[in-house]
Amino acid sequence: MEYSSNKLSVMSGVSARTLRHYDAIGLLKPGRVVESGYRMYGQGEVDRLQQILLYKELGFSLEDIGQLLASPEFDREGTFLSHLAALHKKRERLDFLIQNVTKSIAAMRGDITMADKEKFEGFKESLIDENEQKHGAEIRTKYGAEAVEESKAHWRGLTQEQYEAGERLGLAVEEALKAALET
């Protein structure tokens, strides 16, 4: 099946202007352009647009998406499996946060008692995810995926007291380094 820009726009929810932009930056070229100038998109382009939208949903920049899709090692099925795993993880995190907020509301109303430690449990995973976004590729290259996953497991297992002790230690190390630099 082949779609015009307008039909693909309606079907995908992506504006025709965005499709033109993707064409201009080389991210999604139409399968062909007919004599009247209309851009036509075939199955390959539809599949590529779906892939682009999935990467965007995961927070990738258009530049990064272009590089990933242009890579000779690009594996569409493997990428979809990775997307699926990331979406499941995101859903688990959201479910946990919803549960946490629900418990907090119940605690505010006096229906339950909520320990202070429970109030912060969902945010630890947010910090792990944020760190993964910022440094994931770099630390995997340096230390390997296994070491990174072990570190994440260790981080998840920390109690609030252990986390706070680590934060204090980190600040003490920074202060010691500043003092050493001054002397």
Q: What is the pLDDT of residues 135-168, one digit of tens each?
A: 877 888 888 888 888 888 888 777 767 877 888 8
- d(C-alpha 67, C-alpha 157), whole Å: 36
Number of domains comprising the chain: 2
Domain-ending residue, one of 70, 89, 123: 70
Residue type, 111: D
- d(C-alpha 94, C-alpha 102), whole Å: 12
Domain limits for position 115: 78-182
Check whether 48 has a pLDDT greater than 70: yes
Return the SS3 of 85. helix
What is the reported pTM?
A: 0.55
Both 58 and 143 in a single domain? no
Q: If you search the block for the tokens 């965005």, which residue do you land on?
A: 18
Both 125 and 55 in a single domain? no
